[in-house]
Amino acid sequence: MKAKHSTSRRRWLKRTGALALSAPYIITARSQETLIVNTQGGEYQELVERVVIRPFEKKFGVKVIHDPTGTASQDYAKIRAARGAPGFDVAGLLTPPEVILGVKEGLLEKLTEREVPNLRHLWDKTWQVIPAGSGAPHTLQYAALVYHKEKLERPRSWADYWEPQKKYGEKVKGHLINYNPANLLSVYALIHAAQLGKGGVDNMEPAWQRLKAQKPYVGVVVTGSAEAVPHFENGQVWISPYWSARSGYYIDRGLPFEMVIPDEGVIGLFDVACIPVGSKNKKLAYEFLNWRLDPAVQREWALAYFSSPTRPGVELPAKFAANQIVSKEQIAKTQFPDSDVIGARRKDWTLKWQEIMG
Amino acid sequence: MARDHGLAPVPWLLVAAPMAVLLLFFALPNALLLSASFLKSEAQQLTNELTLENYSFLFTRPLYIRAFIRTFIVGISVGLIDVALGYPLAYFLVRTKSRWKGLLIALSLAPLLASVVVRTYGWYIILNRFGVANDLLLSLGFIDDRIAFMPSTGAIIVGLAHALLPYTVLTIMGSLQGINPNLELAAMSLGASRTRTFFSVVLPLSLPGIAGGFILAFSIAISAYATPAILGGPATQVMATAIYGFMTQLLDWSIGAALAVVLVFCAVLLTYAAARMGARQAAL
């Protein structure tokens, strides 16, 4: 009996020892099946998990940990602070200024069609907006105008937002919202203001004149786009520039607003997924980026988020497509200002904005 | 003998661990911050070129000078309000003979159980244009039109004073508990009134607690981010929100670092001055 016990104990020790020695390999193998994806919270979190992440997990039999914290610039700040190893494998929601900076600083993985075959199907214009192979642009939207349809007549021009008294009189006082240029939405709206006065990214003076004139009519000032939603809901804000995707999402859920594409046109925005150079699971990250650009996923995502696909040929219902950028002509008409210039001048613009609004 | 020379290794070993933590997680990051503040930034990227431009940028822009002044107005106001409100409360809590004393102390510190963000959003609900304060004033007929209580410096002060009050109360309570009650009895037995006893005995003896409470509220207030960001908004900047803006929104780390260095330097200087003042008063 004793000998048997001894043998059994020795066998148990051997097995435990073998297990302990192989633990790092088991853990590593398991971690290779796990991908950490960063995007953002709020309604986006629920949508991206339902439409993109869970189907990806199912198809590839892997686990995705979704990190929904931070905005695009905050996420890039994390990548920079961690020298390319921020703890997530995919930066799922960067905008062109961060992508351009990431390429300059060498903190984002260079992609080719070998790793992400669907890159070859994107709109040609994509690579005029961000450096070729810097990321996978998965969502296309634009800065539109939204207005409270029970309080105001339909605006037609960006001037109706920047010079609201001309169209709406004094009743609109206190019911405008303005955004800090830390948010690209504000930058795009300011570029439209400059264009109204024959300016643009190289001459923003007309924008500052309009901002000064608009200030008495502004009742709410925020930084993040999501911060504006409670003010839309409680009826304080009647007119605002807003991202087309989020506008569609909230209007669909009963917000008494309508979205307008002003006569002067709109500025488009690509949401881009990138891989930080320190990503621990690049192979799976490539698969995730490719999945994001898959035509079926693109369609489902566009319908869920009220955005446009980033590749041509994705079939969408005609009524839905009416407010989206889906044709070659539409994408040619959409403005994409130089994000490199925006990145370089944003500090000065923010300073000027703060001086006027402070 | 070794003890006489003050070279005993045990005390050094005891302080070695906390000192190492302090060096690694406070001194080193601050040194890195200081070095980054002297580096030139071009198109959002740090270069290796040394410069004083970041400081001159900050000290020549009225916007940042205003943010700097606003920060210290907020810090001093919050410190004074919390001492003014916290002292009577702390005095009552220390001196009360009520059997509910424990509960009363717990209740006065209860705000610490909620996150500062939650407490600040409470003020947001009260102070915004369509908030409780406006509704109340309108229904009572005191105002005809809604008032914008926020975003404003005043709203930041109110929010921070509320959030930091328990810290001041705790600090002053500690000081009051250390005062021997016999000293008050002795003063009164010698003919001093209650008021005179308070102003001549209790108040001077509790000055270190008042200074400590003020310093604590002041230093937390000037470095606070969440409350100024929520109640001040992007157009009412204080230094913490400006630093955050440069670091994470504009990605201009050199100016963000310079602003942080100015904040740390001024905070240390003013805290040191206040501590010296409190210590001198206590010594008198």
Residues linked to residue A267 through DSSP beta bridges, in sequence order: A143, A335
Q: Is A347 in contact with B248 (Cβ distance < 8 A)?
A: no
Task: Give residue-wise pLDDT tens across range B36-95.
Answer: 999 998 878 888 899 999 999 999 988 899 999 999 999 999 999 999 999 999 999 998
**More confident call, B97 vs A67:** A67
Interface test with A, best of B249, B252, B255, B259 (most A CBs within 10 A): B249
Would an 8 Å CB–CB cutoff place B235 in contact with chain A?
Answer: yes
Nearest to B249 among A182, A219, A355 (CB): A182
**Residue B251 to residue A222, Cβ atoms within 8 A:** no
Q: Which of B147, B248, B252, B254 to mutate to test the interface with A (most CBs of A within 10 A)?
A: B248
Q: Taking CB atoms and an 8 Å limit, are B63 and A104 in contact across chains?
A: no
Nearest C-alpha neighbor of A334 from the set A125, A182, A183? A125
Find the residue in A nearest to B47 (Cα): A105
Q: Cβ of A101 and B44 within 8 Å?
A: yes
Tokens in use for A54? 């869970």
Nearest-CB residue to A354 (from B235, B252, B253): B235
Place of tokens 């008198």: B284
Q: Which of A234, A354, A356, A357 to mutate to test the interface with B (most CBs of B within 10 A)?
A: A354
pLDDT confidence of residue A30: 45
Residues of A (146-185) whose Cβ lies below 8 Å from B: 174, 180, 182
Which of A185, A340, A347 to mutate against chain B (most B CBs within 10 Å)? Answer: A347
Q: How far is CA A232 from CA A143, A219, A220, A240, A266, in A?
A: 16, 12, 10, 9, 21
pLDDT tens digits, residue range B151-190?
A: 899 999 999 999 999 999 999 999 999 999 899 899 999 9
pLDDT at position A2, please? 43
Q: Do B249 and A358 touch (CB under 8 A)?
A: no
Q: Centre a 10 Å sphere on the Cβ of residue A121 and count the other Cβ atoms it contains.
A: 17
The reply to whether B130 touches chain A by the CB within 8 Å rule is yes
Q: Is B151 on the interface with A (CB under 8 A)?
A: yes
Q: Is A350 on the interface with B (CB under 8 A)?
A: yes
Only one residue has tokens 């189907």, namely A55
- Residue partners of A271: CB distance under 8 A and separation at least 6: A93, A94, A95, A137, A138, A139, A140, A141, A307
3-state class (DSSP) for residue B224: coil
The pLDDT of residue A17 is: 53
pLDDT for the residue B17: 87
Q: In terms of CA atoms, which chain A residue is nearest residue B251? A: A77
- CB contact under 8 Å between B248 and A355, yes or no, is no
Specify the higher pLDDT residue, A66 or B8: A66
Determine the 3-state secondary structure of B90 from DSSP: helix
ipTM above 0.90, yes or no: no
Whether residue B131 has pLDDT greater than 80: yes
Q: B-chain residues within 8 Å CB-CB of A98?
A: 251
Are B249 and A223 an interchain contact pair (Cβ–Cβ within 8 Å)?
A: yes
CB contacts, 8 Å: B151 with chain A:
221
Interface size A-B, in CB pairs within 8 Å, comes to 71
Residue A227, min C-alpha distance to chain B (Å): 10
Q: Would you state the pLDDT for residue A1?
A: 38
Residues of chain A contacting B129 with CB distance shorter than 8 Å: 174, 219, 236
Residue A204: per-residue pLDDT: 97
Residues of A in contact with B255 (CB under 8 A): 347
The more confident residue out of A47 and B235 is A47
Q: Do B234 and A222 touch (CB under 8 A)?
A: yes
Query: Do the Cβ atoms of B250 and A346 come within 8 Å?
Result: yes
Q: What is the bridge-based pairing of β-strands A176-179 and A90-94? A: unpaired
Nearest beta carbon to residue B130 from set A98, A104, A236: A236
Closest approach of chain B CAs to the CA of A29, in angstroms? 33
- Using a CB-CB cut-off of 8 Å, the residues of chain B touching A105 are 45
Shortest Cα–Cα distance, A358 to chain B (Å)? 5
End-to-end CA distance of chain A: 86
Q: What is the dihedral of CA A335, A342, B64, B162, to 10 degrees?
A: 60
Residues of chain A with pLDDT under 50: 1-4, 6-7, 19, 21-31
Mapped onto helix, strand or coil, the DSSP state of residue A104 is helix
